[in-house]
A and B are shown apart, each in its own frame.
Chain A
């Protein structure tokens, strides 16, 4: 089983749609959770950290379910500029520095 699993997509949605991504992780001892976005041939950029209480940043909402070991990202009112690959990231069991990246979920927002 992969340490961090994501549906690769692509998710193809119209502008204005709401889309949700899920991610599961295998290490119950993980403490740090993040969503990054990566545009084609660019570096990953931090979208948001994910806290146990959940957090929201504008159109983006992240949730953490420790019991089920999954993380979600909800994007409301999708924009064309949201088209990217979204990477779920979790720290490894033995180190807070060792970030494990999921393979990413590709989102395509069409006009």
Chain B
């Protein structure tokens, strides 16, 4: 069972809505990630937080806004999304160290933009 919990599991939102995805982990990991996965494609990295600071933004459009309120929580705020943003959004966490840092994924939020 995953120790990374994401809510909600499913979300349908209109293009003018504002919503947030939430992610929580209690493994003491200080690195947290957002990935996006389209059907039949591999996950693609969006953001990385290390010690609650944004360390990587993979040129993600500003309609996606990440937030890391504390070491256990990671949010992704959504505003004015497009239908092509419909995907599985995965949160992951890992320790902060050199290499062979294993990342553990939550079950994901399946987002549909209508």
- A: residues with CB less than 8 A from B are 31-34, 41-46, 49, 51, 87, 91, 95-99, 101-104
Contact = CB atoms under 8 A, between A and B. Distances in A.
A36 to B, nearest CB: 8
Contacts of B86: none
Given A43-B108, A96-B101, A101 B42 contact: yes
Contacts of A41: 88, 110
B81 interface: no
B56 A43 contact: no
A46 B103 contact: yes
Interface string B96-114: 0011111111111010000
Given A97-B48, A103-B41, A43 B102 contact: no
B2 A43 contact: yes
B42 A45 contact: no
B99 A91 contact: yes
A11 B57 CA distance: 36
Contact of A99 (B41, B103, B106): B103
Interface residues of B, number: 27
A95 B33 CA distance: 13
A33 B43 CA distance: 16
| Max chain A C-beta neighbours (<10 A), residue from B101, B106, B108 | B101
B43 A32 contact: no
B56 A49 contact: no
B90 interface: yes
Contacts of A95: 48, 56
Contacts of A51: 100
A46 B42 contact: no
Contacts of A49: 100, 102
Contacts of A102: 42
Given A87-B42, A101-B42, A103-B41, A44 B90 contact: yes
B13 interface: no
B55 A97 contact: yes
A43 to B, nearest CB: 4
Nearest to A92: B45
